[in-house]
Amino acid sequence: MTIKIAIIVGSTRPGHHGEVVGIPRKGGDVGRWVHDLASRREDAEFEIVDLAEIDLPMFDEPFTPLMARYTRPHTRTWSQIVDRFDGYVFVTPEYNHAPPAALKNAIDYLYAEWTNKAAGFVGYGAFGGTRAVEQLRSMMGELQIADVSAQVGLGLHTDFEGYQHLRPMPHQEEALTEMLDQLVAWSRALAPLRAQSPS
C-alpha cells in the first residue's frame, strides 16, 4: 500500500515574489521546502495542496459536513482532493495567536474525508507558529485525526533571511524528518480503520 500525504499550505494572502510590493508570502516556500525533503523518502508519496489555488469561499453549504450532502461544486472538488490522501502536513503561519481563517475554513468544510488519518504540522512566524499549531491540534480530535507529537517551528528571526527568504537552520531538517517519520507510521497504522469506513 502506498501512503499518500498532502502538504496543505494554509496561507492564502497575496505576495508571491515579484507580484506585489511588500513582504512576499512565505507559505509556498515553506511548502516546497517540506516537499523537497519529503520527496527523498521511499515510504510515501507527497503532494502540495495550496489553499491559495483551491480558492474556497467561506463555508456556504446548507447542511453540516457530518451529513456529506454537498451542494456546491467547489465542495465536491475539495472533498475529492482531501479524500484521496492518507495523511496531511498542515503548513501554517500564525495570525493573532491562531492559524489563518482560510485554513480553518477549509478544514471545516469536510468531516468524513479527514477521519482515521494522521496529521503533522509545520508552523512559521515570530514564535515558530506554535500557538497556531496548538489551535489546530485542538481541532484534530473532533475530526478523528491522529496528530503526531513531533512538529516543526520556523522562526522569522532565525529561519528567514531578512525576515523574507526561507533559510532553515540545520536542525530544522532533522525536526522535519522526525515529524514525517511519525506521520507516515501513523498514516499506515490507521489504514485498517480507513478500510472499514464507508466511502
More confident residue, 109 or 24: 109
Q: How confident is the model over 93-110, as a mean pLDDT?
A: 97
CA proximity to 176, closest of 154, 151, 155: 151
- What was the pLDDT predicted at 24? 73
Distance in angstroms (rounded) separating the CA atoms of residues 133 and 185: 20
- What was the pLDDT predicted at 13? 85
Residue with cell 507510521: 185
132: which 3 cell numbers? 497556531
- What was the pLDDT predicted at 16? 52
Return all residues near 144 (Cβ < 8 A) that are at least 6 apart: 114, 115, 116
Residue with cell 473532533: 142
Q: What is the average pLDDT value for the chain, to the nearest integer?
A: 94
The whole-model pTM stands at 0.94
33: which 3 cell numbers? 521546502
| pLDDT (tens digit per residue) in 123-140 | 999 999 999 999 999 999
Determine contact, residues 17/24, Cβ cutoff 8 Å.
yes
Q: Where are the domains of the chain?
A: 4-196
In a 13 Å sphere around the CA of 19, the CA atoms on its Cβ side amount to 8
> Which CATH architecture is the domain 4-196 placed in?
3-Layer(aba) Sandwich (3.40)
The residue count for the chain? 199
Checking if the pLDDT of 199 tops 70, the result is no
Checking if the pLDDT of 92 tops 80, the result is yes
Binned at pLDDT 50, 70 and 90, residue 54 comes out as very high
Distances (CA, A) of 153 to 4, 41, 51, 64, 128: 23, 21, 20, 33, 4
Checking if the pLDDT of 143 tops 90, the result is yes
| pLDDT (tens digit per residue) in 11-32 | 998 765 444 445 678 999 999 9
